[in-house]
Amino acid sequence: MRPDVISDFIIKNYNLRMRIINENPSLISQKANVSYLKKLDEYSFNIAWRKGGSYNLGFLGTIQYIYIKIRCGILKRLSC
């Protein structure tokens, strides 16, 4: 797949999650988590598609990626 197609998919996925949350009042507390999931999708996509070091994550980016990954993992466990 082309990178622009995957980026569009991430945006559509984010919009769908937001629409579901906005339509269901009991899920309104999950609104902040949707942005973390979007960031996780973007990081994962960029890491998977980097070629020849074209996407340099850096130290702070790595720390942020790990934080988002852990946060999303904890949220997934708490929601079950």
DSSP string across 65-76? HHHHHHHHHHHH
At residue 14, does pLDDT exceed 80? yes
Q: Name the more confident of 66 and 32.
A: 66
Which tens digit of pLDDT belongs to each residue from 24-64? 888 877 887 888 899 999 888 888 777 656 667 788 988 99
Is 69 exposed, middle or buried (CB count within 10 Å of its CB: 0-12, 13-18, 19+)? middle
State the pLDDT at residue 19. Answer: 93
Domain boundaries, the chain: 3-79
d(CA 17, CA 11): 10
Tokens of 71: 């946060």
User: Is the distance from CB of 57 to CB of 47 less than 8 angstroms?
Assistant: yes
State the pLDDT at residue 55. Answer: 65
State the pLDDT at residue 4. Answer: 84
Which pTM was predicted?
Answer: 0.74
Strands (E), 1-80: none
